[in-house]
Chain A
């Protein structure tokens, strides 16, 4: 539990509010899953909501700055807080080398993750298939002729 204690008394709910609460449940009790489902039906994701809030805050900062010439520090702090949150939620970028290495490293793959097995062999290691070896021999013979 947080240490929050309301400094404002909630206005008493009307009879209509109480009726709606009794039919649909109090708003305070909305679950994450239910909220996600509802917003999905409106075609809006959590990420979009956060982005919209960020834009809203940016516009508010600009408006206050234009009107008063003062930078609203609280809103700037909020904007930074939202940006930090977005950075934290963004998947970590993976370099190309690291990505390729992960693909071809069977040890890094979970056993449940079915992947095709590639048989890469370098010529330095002499890793040629029988077919390749035959073609190579034929070419060498042609050159010698």
Chain B
């Protein structure tokens, strides 16, 4: 029998969203989602399942009580998973944190130069944001994301708005993309995000 305190959870609907997000977290942090994080036994699947288990425990403790059957457990489970991922990455990264955090070694030589081009570009861009298509760092970042647009100009436009114009919110991106001939709404941006996410996450 199901515990009287725990509601029936639509596990399929919950897991099918947790799993791609877990995979994206891994990829975004430079890890292979099909493998465990270095120094741990946590893969993307273990992370998602762990979040589901912790979520259920929260249900048992009465932290999540749906008021109607359509209440979505995903936001809470996502927060659990995100927190767990940060915790695991931090714990696994302690040994290499000494190598990553300082920007110079004991001899004063820049360690940034040893980072991948993407991270170098991101660090420099954040240190000195420059808007303009000629900016080399912005171009490196944009080129990194372009493959996920798979040639679609409307998706490339979103990437350009983010990289070259520092837009972050859908409304900002929509405003930047709107022209006299075409109005772009926040919903349009959200739709394009879904396609970009799909393209990014399905790449292995």
Secondary structure at the B interface, as helix, strand, loop or mixed, is helix
CB neighbours of A24 from chain B (8 A): 24, 148, 193, 196-197, 200
Q: How many A-B residue pairs have CB under 8 A?
A: 165
Does B174 make an interface contact (CB < 8 A)? no
- Residue of B53, B64, B65, B66 touching A78 (CB-CB under 8 A): B53
Q: Which of B14-22, B95-103, B105-113, B177-185 forms part of the interface with chain A? A: B14-22
Q: A25 and B193 in contact (CB under 8 A), knowing A46-B12, A84-B2, A89-B12?
A: yes
**Contacting pair B8 A23 (CB below 8 A):** no
CB distance from A25 to the nearest CB of B (A): 3
**Contacting pair A38 B202 (CB below 8 A):** yes
**Contacting pair B53 A30 (CB below 8 A):** no
Name the residue of chain B whose CB is nearest to the CB of A57: B53
CB neighbours of B28 from chain A (8 A): 16-17, 20
Does B86 make an interface contact (CB < 8 A)? yes
B: number of interface residues (CB 8 Å):
67
CB neighbours of B46 from chain A (8 A): 56
**Contacting pair A30 B20 (CB below 8 A):** yes
**Contacting pair B17 A4 (CB below 8 A):** no
A: number of interface residues (CB 8 Å):
55
**Contacting pair B11 A52 (CB below 8 A):** no
| CB neighbors of A among B1-50 (8 A) | 1-3, 6, 8-13, 15-17, 19-21, 23-25, 28, 45-46, 49
**B binding-site residues for A, Cβ under 8 Å:** 1-3, 6, 8-13, 15-17, 19-21, 23-25, 28, 45-46, 49, 52-53, 56-57, 60, 63-67, 71-76, 78-79, 82-83, 86, 119, 122, 126, 141, 145, 148, 158-159, 162, 167-169, 173, 190, 193-194, 196-198, 200-202, 204
